[in-house]
Amino acid sequence: MQKREGFVRAFPERKLYLQTTHTPEFLGLRTESNGLWNASAFGRGVIVGLLDTGIAAGHPSFSDAGMPLPPARWKGSCALEAGCNNKLIGARAFVPGDESPLDDNGHGTHTASTAAGNFVPGAQAYGQAGGTAAGMAPRAHLAVYKVCSASGCTDSDVLAGLDAAVKDGVDVISISLGGGSVPFDEDAIAIGAFAAFEKGIVVSCAAGNAGPFNTSLSNEAPWYITVGATSVDRSFRSYVQLNNGKVYEGESLNQLTKIPSNPVELAYNSNCSDCTFFKNFDIQGKIVVCKPFFPPEKIATAVLKAGGIGVIIINVEEEGYTIIASDFHLLASQLSPADGDAVIAYASDARNNPKALITFNGTVLGTSPAPVVAFFSSRGPNFQTPSILKPDVSAPGLNILAAWPTRVDGGNDGANTFNIISGTSMATPHISGITALIKSVHPDWSAAAVKSAIITTADENGRDGKPILDELHQKASFFAVGAGHVNPSKAADPGLIYDIGANDYVGFICSIYGDAGARVIVRSHNVSCSKVTQKSATELNLPSIAASPAWLETVTITRAVTNVGEPQSTYTAHVDIPEAVKIEVAPPTLSFAAVGERKTFQVRVRWSLFPAKGVVEGNLRWVSNEHVVRSPIVVGNFKARN
């Protein structure tokens, strides 16, 4: 291989893993007359490339009803026997031994319809979440690149799919894959996404499902958008009514119509996580209370086989209030640890003659708090470059309804099939579809401009006006939620953007990896780090700020913003951060006379109190009469690799 022309480096193959009806309303797309759907013509003219497990091409989410012809710039092809259409304009497979782009897993169909699925009335799964389904950009075109099988994806296949998407002429790329932290010069996604960035293509990647633990991120490079997962204000409500009069709210996808009218005896034993335990534990006709340490569906199946009629599943502490709604195939409710521990205490005391009823209330909208960061959403700090804040932003990824190749709730398969699943894989195509809407409104914006707009307009508060919470219902850190929760309409009109070019990133790459690594990522033997201005992570013109000053040291960070709002506008700097940190912004006011004008400012950061362990978080806001441009700030004792 080394002797072949164009060879740069070989590295070991790595395996990567796969990481709706209501979210358009929740994100303000469908309900606002002046919202982004109308302003963008629903993403018309934009091509979304999606790397995943393929697609169920015949699903009505991929009908081309109401779709225009593909743009003339489209250069891709279709490997489907039935051909493509004006919605699904391209479909190719890159998995060895599988030449069909058809989805034999479901993951790719789900993510594709979330990003750009067409309108489908009568969508539902398990009888829940009923309504008209639509992707974030329902009039955008889709190009699907099958790079994964059900068992995962390899670096080489992912890179081949990425390169094809760039060559084909997509505008947006969605990658709901991840394999943990890895140096950028050994990361197929980082390498392929850099080529996309050079072409102005916006790439969104999943943060990973390894939360809630620190430094658990996948996809940490700064030239794409890394997406965390949050809840929406929807619950598939069930209730546990104890015989002592206490009632606890839970969730369950399968909501039975025939349920016991009288309280049922409860059975609890702490060994319930061992499914074989039920062979020696009398649960006949009882509801089992269990706090399992592996997928609760397995517990439910074991209970059913052992003669139990129901199960109360209790989250472990790390899961907190995040409930991944499941189909338990029997009478069931899943509770938070706090509520569940109260049920355990009641069920453990035989003197109570413990009994309970489980009842259902279907799909409930308007639940609070929302959004809340899901426990599984991977967390920062960024292991590869701690001075680059990741994840970038969060989007709905918990209990998301979207297209599925087959029926999931029994009965005959049909074309109109949907499923409800969770993961940062589900959050990522929300951002991809939203970037398609923004590209439709601003086709001349760079990939960095789109990313900046999404970050600086993200919501830091939930629907109740209070700070967004994490899975424990504590204030979510920037390492959990990123800059905040995506706000599509605001992102299309950010006022100012932080732009950055590929050459700046080459300087950054050189500062970490030198010539050898830079040539791998840029994929050119012509890269010479001695000929570029090397940049540390803090010198990149990013819309977020992370600094690590020593005691008595002042760190000066330079940023530049470009006016994309009103031609005549003045912005004033406002900083809010705990008193342990002192931040000065110079100049404190920026005045613009034209669209496209660029202004530079400095942020000086120092400790005013002796630095404690951990990090301090705050915000820099540039405020005008029309816009608030917010940059998250993290100050701590971490250091970047460079």
Q: Say whether 627 is catalytic.
A: no
Asked about 52 being catalytic, the answer comes back as yes
Of 135, 199, 147, 206, nearest to 172 by C-alpha is: 199
- Residue 5 tokens read as 């022309």
Q: Please tell me the distance from the alpha carbon of residue 607 to that of residue 611, in angstroms, as a whole number.
A: 6
- Mutual angle of helices 424-441 and 447-456, in 10-degree steps: 110
In the set 107, 110, 141, 430, the catalytic residue is 107
d(CA 595, CA 601): 18
107 catalytic per annotation: yes
What gap in Å lies between CA 241 and CA 596, rounded to an integer? 61
Return the structure tokens found at 504: 């700046």
Neighbours of 18 (CB within 10 A): 24
Q: Exactly one of 425, 452, 477, 624 is catalytic; name it.
A: 425
Catalytic residue (one of 22, 40, 52, 187): 52
For 382-499, where are the alpha helices, taking DSSP H only? 424-441, 447-456, 478-481, 488-491
C-alpha–C-alpha distance, residues 233 and 231, integer Å: 7
Residue 638 has a CB neighbour count (10 Å cut-off) of 18
What distance in Å separates the CA atoms of residue 518 and residue 305, rounded to the nearest whole number?
57
Looking at residue 98, the DSSP 8-state letter turns out to be B
Amino acid identity at 208: G
Residue 477 gets which letter from DSSP? P
Alpha-carbon distances of 22 from 131, 425, 550, rounded to whole Å: 8, 17, 47
Closest of 237, 248, 241 to residue 263, by C-alpha: 241
- Could you list the active site residues? 52, 107, 425
